[in-house]
Homo-oligomer: A and B are copies of this chain.
Amino acid sequence: MLPRSSGVSAAMTIASIRVYRDLLDGNRRWAEATRALLRARGWTLVNMIGAPGSGKTALLEALARALPDRRTWAVIEGDCATTRDAERLRAAGLTASQILTGDGCHLTAATVHQALCDLPFAPRTLVLVENVGNLVCPASCDLGEDAKIAVLSVTEGEDKPLKYPILFRVARAVVLSKTDLLPHLRFSLDRCRAALRQVNAAAPVFELSAKTGAGVPAFADWLCAAPPAGT
């Protein structure tokens, strides 16, 4: 996983190792700028990372039903192509912007910073980033966020924390989504929790179904309690 510059393919633009290092350093600098922006505004930035189809957008729609009047919040969507997810969230009444990465496999700090700057100001805003569907590359990229959250659908199998340990190691919380499908799957919540504990002993686990709403309020409570940056 290589951090990428904002919307520009590193492979196409590198003219010297110095420039390449500038690209790497560039992401760190944008992440630091984002941390400063969050502190100045009293905002909280949460980076949601999960595989394609793990239910991240459906979870945000469910949060739109569970969270609306408890905290000001907004969403920044990341996808390779289409604005479908941001359109879904706006239809659910949310403030949502869309970053398109093209062949980029994860969001970068520069584009997220720009999207943050373009959001309307309100105190103590919680900004949820839905990263590009990918369990590997986004896990190692610093967006300046307060927390990374891993979203794992129970349809994906119990062993994913062991097979993609980098994400699950850094995750501040883990969402096990689509629990309504459990009766139709060979999936043991106990074995999945045990796999997770091998790489991350501390992260709270939220088992939920965006479809039925079960478990969503507990995750909304946790998000509402997330402190603003710098406090």
Q: Does A22 contact B (CB under 8 A)?
A: no
Residues on the B chain within 8 Å of A184, using CB: 180-181, 184
Of the listed stretches A31-39, A74-82, A121-129, A223-231, chain B binds A74-82
Given the interface pairs A51-B133, A103-B1, A181-B155, the reply to whether A165 lies near B84 with Cβ below 8 Å is no
Question: For residues 98 through 133 of chain A, which have their beta carbon under 8 Å from a beta carbon of chain B?
Answer: 103-105, 132-133
Once the chains are docked, how many angstroms separate the CA of A181 from the CA of B17? 50
Contact A53 B136 (CB under 8 A): no
Residues on the B chain within 8 Å of A15, using CB: 17
Given the interface pairs A1-B105, A165-B80, the reply to whether A155 lies near B53 with Cβ below 8 Å is yes
Residues on the B chain within 8 Å of A156, using CB: 51-53
Contact-residue bracket for chain A: 35 or more
Which of B80, B81, B164 sits near A80, CB closer than 8 Å?
Answer: B164
Given the interface pairs A17-B14, A52-B156, A155-B155, the reply to whether A82 lies near B162 with Cβ below 8 Å is yes
Tell me the smallest distance from the CB of A81 to a CB of chain B, in Å.
5
With CB as the reference atom, state the residue of chain B lying closest to A11: B2
Number of copies: 2
Contact B52 A160 (CB under 8 A): yes
Once the chains are docked, how many angstroms separate the CA of A136 from the CA of B101? 11
Q: Does A178 contact B (CB under 8 A)?
A: yes
Contact B178 A155 (CB under 8 A): yes
Once the chains are docked, how many angstroms separate the CA of A16 from the CA of B159? 39
Q: Does A20 contact B (CB under 8 A)?
A: yes
Contact B136 A135 (CB under 8 A): no
Q: Does A10 contact B (CB under 8 A)?
A: yes
Once the chains are docked, how many angstroms separate the CA of A20 from the CA of B80? 25
Contact A166 B16 (CB under 8 A): no
Residues on the B chain within 8 Å of A140, using CB: 103
Interface of A toward B, CB cutoff 8 Å: 1-2, 10-11, 14-17, 19-20, 24, 51-53, 79-82, 84, 103-105, 132-137, 140, 153, 155-157, 159-160, 162-166, 178, 180-181, 184-185
